[in-house]
Structure 1
Amino acid sequence: MTHDDTPGDRRGFLKCMAWAGTGALFTVSGGLASSIGLDQAVAAPAKAQGFTFLQISDSHVGFNKPANPDAKATYQEAVSKILSLPQKPDFILHTGDITQLSKDQEFDDADQIIKQVGLPVFHVPGEHDMLDEGAGKAYLDRFGKETKGAGWYSFDHKGVHFVALINVVNLKAGGMGSLGADQLEWLEKDLSGRPSSQPIVVFAHIPLWTVYADWGWGTDDAAQALSYLKRFGSVTVLNGHIHQITQKVEGNIAFHTARSTAFPQPVGGQGPSPGPLKVPTEQLRSMLGITTATFVRGREPIALVDQTLAT
């Protein structure tokens, strides 16, 4: 899959990001990426320069358990937030678990909601999108027609190179994610020949660093993939899966997870297992709030400021 635009300044670096349970909004200008929370963008939009993109994750359309009786409704709330932006992002990244059970109706419902935004949407699957009898065929039929292997691909947008990785194939309950030899070989070739000054954004479902191994919150062969990324001056890795914001900076690589639009999960190890975390109804949207993260070249500590949906 490709999505090419006129290259921008490739000398820049990713600078700032905003994180949200409803999404994360990024702006890129002259190779510089900065961000604002969605609520901030509604109240006082920045002057239009460069481009913006937005991340949504773990919508779990079809989920209707006590942790959230209607995940479809909260996904609609996320999209309504995007629609309220006076300056629309160029595109959206969805980092997996679009659906709860990979059912056609769930995919249809999710499609109808996100199409309201009228923007390109780039997907990677979560393990919940691979539960059909074809082990992901339903997902690939919709979103993978121009992808490689199990659905990996890359595209360029105004000087930034985006790489979509798949680490949920044949995932066992509680097991670590895996990229596999074929995808790793493709990734090495995809990155070869690119200038080390070009900003890289990688997005996948399961974290590419080990957040909590006992719950499978990591990717067992991620080290090989990350070795191909170390020569680049600015690398940002986005993922979902764990339904909470966490971050790590390792050299020039900054890792960030996004909250779900459906329900929270417990912090790793704080409970017998991962899964939907039931909170009082009045607290749910505060668990799906907005967090702003600011960093420079992935080398400085990230400063976090939370802005919840409840406010």
Structure 2
Amino acid sequence: MGHRDKGDRPGDRGRSGGIDRRGALHCMVWAGTGVLWGLSGGVPRSLGLVGDAMAAAPSGFTFLQISDSHVGFDKPANPNALGTLQEAVGRISALPQKPEFLIHTGDISHLSKPQEFDNADQVIGGAGLPVRYVPGEHDLLDDGTGQAYLDRYGRGSQGAGWYSFDAGGVHFIGLVNVVNLRAGGLGNLGHDQLEWLEDDLRGKSASTPIVVFAHIPLWTVYADWGWGTEDAAQALSYLKRFGSVTVLNGHIHQLMQKVEGDVVFHTAMSTAFPQPAPGSAPSPGPMTVPPDRLRSLLGTTRVSVLQGTKRLAITDSPLSAS
């Protein structure tokens, strides 16, 4: 689909603005709640969301990823998921260098209820930034069709909500892998979306930095819990010729990274609650920890590229000591 006009950007619910065309992906950081990426000279680098690191941020194109807000969740793992989302947005609003937009990698809501989406929109809108969304499985619970999600966030998208756009010299691709998801089953992209993806990438230069974002990881983190996408290999085959590919996901509510050739996979923390490490519990789901430990699991993660390599280096810094 290539470049979109500003008036036709799926999920763009904030302000529009000029894009600094000075390069490719440069940084990603977590604020216990979100991860800040920037673009500068085609190389991923990291900054902190708070303190001296962010104050020294270079000018350039930046965007921020948040994930798994689960607005409406109120169980012991986090009785106030809306409050921790507000905390995340407060940190975003306080940034001295404003990102150009946010990416939300799914599970905006917990039960797809209109009030949950309304509350999420109000809080996330407080960042004053455009937002690009892809759905999580919790956003498609309304009637199984995901129409409520599409009505709010899918303008200009294809199929179940997939789309692409160009910004800052980077090609962004939002994929949907949560339609018809079976309990405990792997995510799936489906034939139509895979054909669209192949066509979308056709004609793109191999030197174009690519950022792919979807809810469920595009690599198999833990098949027994459905933490992977069954037809991801086909999608990734279309990306092999590109020299810089970054894949951003949520769903598992914890930081994990994998590198395959020129592809870096990174999963995001939740703004709502942690989940257990793969295989460390009978099943996935909200993990209850003592209240004074919660923010130690919603911490800050700095991600950078070591000089001379395309791979990202990740350092986790919790919001509070464990």
TM-score for both structures, normalised by structure 1: 0.93
Whether 1:109 and 2:119 are equivalent positions in the alignment is: yes
8 Å CA contact 1:3–1:156 kept in 2: the answer is no
**What is the CA–CA distance in structure 1 between the aligned matches of 2:307 and 2:277, rounded to whole Å?**
27
In structure 2, the partner of 1:30 is: 41
Matched position secondary structure for 2:126: helix
Alignment counterpart, residue 51 of structure 1, candidates 43, 55, 61: 61
**What is the CA–CA distance in structure 1 between the aligned matches of 2:178 and 2:213, rounded to whole Å?**
13
Deviations 1:157-176 (A, max 9, x none): 02100000000000011100
In structure 2, the partner of 1:130 is: 140
Alignment counterpart, residue 8 of structure 1, candidates 16, 21, 27: 21
Deviation at 1:14, TM superposition (A): 4.0
Go from structure 1 to structure 2 and tell me whether the alpha carbon gap of 1:43 and 1:231 turns closer, same or farther (over 3 Å shift). Answer: closer
In structure 2, the partner of 1:185 is: 195
Deviation at 1:40, TM superposition (A): 3.9
**What is the CA–CA distance in structure 1 between the aligned matches of 2:311 and 2:262, rounded to whole Å?**
12
**What is the CA–CA distance in structure 1 between the aligned matches of 2:308 and 2:255, rounded to whole Å?**
16
Deviation at 1:134, TM superposition (A): 4.8
Mapping of 1:75-90 within 5 angstroms?
A: 75-90=85-100
8 Å CA contact 1:42–1:86 kept in 2: the answer is no
Matched position secondary structure for 1:188: helix
2:37 maps to amino acid: F
In structure 1, the partner of 2:128 is: 118
Whether 1:223 and 2:194 are equivalent positions in the alignment is: no
Matched position secondary structure for 1:247: strand
Bigger CA drift: 290-299 or 192-201? 290-299
In structure 2, the partner of 1:139 is: 149
In structure 1, the partner of 2:13 is: none
Q: Which runs of 5+ in 2 are unaligned?
A: 7-17
Alignment counterpart, residue 281 of structure 1, candidates 264, 280, 291: 291
In structure 1, the partner of 2:81 is: 71
8 Å CA contact 1:96–1:205 kept in 2: the answer is yes
8 Å CA contact 1:41–1:86 kept in 2: the answer is no
Alignment counterpart, residue 170 of structure 2, candidates 160, 168, 175: 160
Bigger CA drift: 21-30 or 139-148? 21-30
Matched position secondary structure for 1:52: strand
In structure 2, the partner of 1:151 is: 161
Matched position secondary structure for 2:314: strand
Matched position secondary structure for 1:33: coil
Deviations 1:203-254 (A, max 9, x none): 0000000000000000000000000001001000000000000000000000
Deviation at 1:135, TM superposition (A): 2.6
Whether 1:17 and 2:10 are equivalent positions in the alignment is: no
8 Å CA contact 2:25–2:37 kept in 1: the answer is no
In structure 2, the partner of 1:174 is: 184
**What is the CA–CA distance in structure 1 between the aligned matches of 2:191 and 2:171, rounded to whole Å?**
22
Once superposed, what is the RMSD of the aligned Cα atoms? Answer: 2.0
The number of aligned residues is 308
**What is the CA–CA distance in structure 2 between the aligned matches of 1:201 and 1:51, rounded to whole Å?**
14
Q: Which runs of 5+ in 1 are unaligned?
A: none
1:270 maps to amino acid: S
Alignment counterpart, residue 208 of structure 1, candidates 218, 222, 225: 218
8 Å CA contact 1:253–1:298 kept in 2: the answer is no
2:80 maps to amino acid: D
TM-score for both structures, normalised by structure 2: 0.90
